[in-house]
Every structure is written in C-alpha cells, then in structure tokens.
Chains A and B, each alone.
Chain A
Amino acid sequence: MAVDRRRYLALIFISVIGLVMALAFIHLSAPDLALTQISVEVVTILLMLLALHLLPGNPPRLSALPRRLRDAAIAVAGGLGVGWLAWAVMTRPERAGISRFHWDNSYSGGGGTNVVNVTLVDFRAFDTLGEIIVLGIAGLAIYALLEPAARGVAGRRLRAWRSNDRHSPERHPMMFVMATRLLLPLALLVGSYIFLRGHNQPGGGFIAALVFSIAILLQYLASGFDWTDRRRKFGEHMLIGAGVLIAATTGLGSLVFGAPFLTSSFGYFHLPLIGEFELATAMFFDLGVACVVVGAVLMALAQLAQIAQRAAKAEEADEPS
C-alpha cells in the first residue's frame, strides 16, 4: 500500500511539473503552448493512472549503492551539460532567421493573426500533415499491441490479475455521473469555440481536439466503459483515417487551382448581426488535425480502459460476491 501510494505521488509530482510548464509558457508569451500543455497533461496523467493500476505494485528493489552513485553522476553530468547548452543559446544575440517571414506574411498571406496557428496549418502544413500521420500510426500501434493481449500467456496473466487497491463501494457515484453529463455539451461548446478562433486568437485544432477528448474521457470515467462505448457512434479507427484523409484532400484541393500542395485560400466576409469573420481552407486542414488527435487519444485511453475492464470482469467472475 505504501509503495503504491508513493507511485501515485510520483504521478502527482509529474503533473505539477506539467502545470508549472504551462504557467511558464503563459509568462513567456506562448498562450497556445500553455493551452496545449495543460490539456495534454490531463490526458497523460489519466493514461498513466490507468496503466499504473495494471502494472505490478511490488516494492522496487533498490539498486546497489555503487550503481546508484554511477547513475547519479551520469544524470548530474547530463543535466549540467544540457543546462549549460540552454544557457549558452539563450544568452547569445539572436540572428535574423526565417521567423521574420512567418510574422510578416501571417496576415497578408495566411489571413490569420495568430502566427503560431497560421504557421501550423499554412506555412508548415506539410510538417503538420506528417505529424498527424505519426500520431495516427502511434494510435494504430497501440491498438495492435493491446487488442491481442487477451490471448495466450498475456491473456492468462490478465485473467489472473488481482487488484490490491480498495474499490469505492459506489462504482459510478451519482454526483460525478450527473456533473459530467451536464459538462459534456458545455465542454464540446468550449472546444468548438477554441477551434473556430484558432486562426486569429490562441486556440486551434490541436487544443480543441484535446478538449473534445477530455470531455469524452470524463464520460468513460464517470459512467463506465460499457455505457459510454454503447453511445459512441464513431470508432477511433474511423476518426484517425478520416482525419488524415480530410487534411490530405484539403492539400490536394489546391492542386486543382494550379497552386502548390497545401496552399490555402481565405477571405473575409460580412454578415449582418455577426459582423466580419474569416473563412479559410486551412480550417478544413485544422479539422483533419483535430480528428486525428481525438482518434489517437481515445484509442490509447479506451484500449487501456478496456483491458482493465476485462481484467476486472475476470476477477468478478472468479469471486462472486
């Protein structure tokens, strides 16, 4: 029990570091990074908590003292080296790089005032396309790793798994269930708002996707895996596939007009009552990004939750209470 508590404590320390990073990003004029960091933090900690539940909790044997001293020496040397490198980079005068171009052409060429987002979905959209493909592959690899885990030796071990944590007497606390069901539409609304403002204000597809994922994951946490899975109409595979397809098709669309791959077009329109707003083809690209991120996040957490669920069911079947 004491060891388990120490491991949970370690996770809480990690999440505190993540929050401090988010605060640092706000202070150092990177609002987009702060929003991304804080939402990724929630998802990462949820993932690690789920995994920790299944990993063995027997106390770690401390390595021998000479070995720990050696590791500590390597760690201190590495830390000092990288810290010195960072210090050396930051204290040198900045040279004129390619950043100037992004700043100067953000509004006239990309149509948005949030230079970070315009860089992601317009100037460096090819990079972003590659990155969402990597994320999609990671999601599919997770599926490939966990789906067959119920068979063979791994499956036997999974069925023999015993939880040594105390369970709450109430599986799905009423207050939690009700609160998360009320929060779901609100969170989806906030996510859409963050998505739509992304081109001109801090926000965008990545952050909106993380907010959507957290909204859905809350339902898994509160109402249970089966309940949520029955009501979800779209699979993670479909989301990842559709996302990459939307992003790539948007890029190919520019070829039809004789422009290079992933060139975006935009315009400012005026509607009575609403006022002036912007429409850009980069928004479809951002939509593709958002789909892949939601798909990959849900894939990782839902697969892990399902494994835990299988183990728990096997446990219940063995010990009818």
Chain B
Amino acid sequence: MSLEFLVASAIAVLVAGGIYLALRGRTFQVVLGLTLLSYAVNMFLFAIGRLIVDKPPLYARGVVEHADPLPQALVLTAIVITFGMTALTVILSLRSFLESGSDQVDGDGDPVREDAA
C-alpha cells in the first residue's frame, strides 16, 4: 500500500473519531472531538501539497525536487490558530459549567444541579 493510502486512511480515522466525539453530550468529549477534527483538517491541507519524502523546502541553487512550501506555510499558522481555538473552546466550556452547573451541551442531559450553587 502506498504512503498516500496510509495518510488518507489516517485522516479518515481522525475525522470519524472527531465527529463521533463531537456528537457526544458533554463538553470535555466535544473538545476532544474538535481537537481530533483539527488534526485531520491540518493533515488534509498539508496533503494537498502532495507527499514528498525527505526533500524539505529549503532553497538551494540547482535543487529541482522539493516539497511544496505554500501548504506548509498555511498549515503552520493553522496549527497555532488551532491552539487559540482549542483554548477558547476549553474556556467557554469551563465558564458555561461555572454559570450553569452542568457540562451538558445538548440540553437533554442532567437537570441543573442546584445544590452546587
């Protein structure tokens, strides 16, 4: 099997796991699901530039074969933005738990526990 198949199947597994977790009812699982999905998206964007082994995009005169630098630059910022997004989601879920006393996100979970307030 080719390297392309390996990467494509890894993306498939990450997306499937991410979607399943994002459909769960509690914030922590949803955050984990979004993290998995963002890994998959970053890998997908990177794969658009094709898979090239052992030819990093470092310029030298006469080098013809090299990996595509453009998707790499885009994914690099995407990885850092992903951190910002994950941090914001984690903190939103924490604040919503502190406000409502429940970490359910789909509304049909535990009733609000008044004893904690």
A residues sitting closer than 8 Å to B (CB atoms) are 7, 10-11, 14, 17-18, 21, 24-25, 27-33, 36-37, 40, 43-44, 47-48, 51-52, 54-56, 60-61, 63, 71-72, 74-76, 78-87, 89-91, 94, 97-99, 102-103, 106-107, 112-117, 119-120, 124, 127-128, 131, 134-135, 138-139, 141-142, 145-146, 149, 153-154, 156-158, 160, 200-202, 206, 210, 293, 296-297, 300, 303-304, 307
Please state if B58 and A114 are interface contacts (CB–CB under 8 Å): yes
Chain A residue at smallest Cβ distance from B5: A87
Q: Does B105 contact A (CB under 8 A)?
A: no
Please state if B15 and A82 are interface contacts (CB–CB under 8 Å): yes
Chain B contacts for A79, CB-based, 8 A: 12-17, 19
Q: Count of B residues near A, CB < 8 Å?
A: 82
Chain A residue at smallest Cβ distance from B102: A56
Q: Which of B5, B35, B56, B99 contacts A30 (CB 8 A)?
A: B56
Please state if B15 and A78 are interface contacts (CB–CB under 8 Å): yes
Chain B contacts for A156, CB-based, 8 A: 117
Please state if B72 and A55 are interface contacts (CB–CB under 8 Å): no
- Would you give 22 A-B contacts (Cβ < 8 Å), ordered by A? A18-B39, A21-B43, A32-B72, A32-B76, A36-B76, A40-B83, A51-B91, A51-B94, A71-B24, A75-B18, A85-B44, A86-B44, A90-B8, A94-B50, A99-B70, A102-B70, A115-B57, A119-B73, A127-B77, A128-B77, A135-B81, A145-B95
Please state if B53 and A75 are interface contacts (CB–CB under 8 Å): no
Please state if A115 and B15 are interface contacts (CB–CB under 8 Å): no
B residues sitting closer than 8 Å to A (CB atoms) are 4-5, 7-20, 23-29, 31-32, 35-36, 39-40, 42-44, 46-60, 66-70, 72-73, 75-77, 79-88, 90-95, 97-99, 101, 103, 109-110, 116-117
Chain A residue at smallest Cβ distance from B108: A63
**Whole-angstrom CA separation of A116 from B19 in the bound complex:** 31
Please state if B57 and A29 are interface contacts (CB–CB under 8 Å): yes
Chain B contacts for A139, CB-based, 8 A: 84
**Whole-angstrom CA separation of A92 from B54 in the bound complex:** 21
**Whole-angstrom CA separation of A217 from B64 in the bound complex:** 42
Please state if B85 and A55 are interface contacts (CB–CB under 8 Å): no
Please state if B79 and A74 are interface contacts (CB–CB under 8 Å): no
Please state if A60 and B29 are interface contacts (CB–CB under 8 Å): yes
Q: Which of B76, B86, B103, B109 contacts A55 (CB 8 A)?
A: B103
Main secondary structure of the interface of A (DSSP, over half): helix
Chain B contacts for A293, CB-based, 8 A: 80
**Whole-angstrom CA separation of A321 from B2 in the bound complex:** 62
Q: Which of A32, A86, A99, A114 contacts B7 (CB 8 A)?
A: A86
**Whole-angstrom CA separation of A83 from B12 in the bound complex:** 4
Please state if B73 and A14 are interface contacts (CB–CB under 8 Å): no
Please state if B15 and A83 are interface contacts (CB–CB under 8 Å): yes
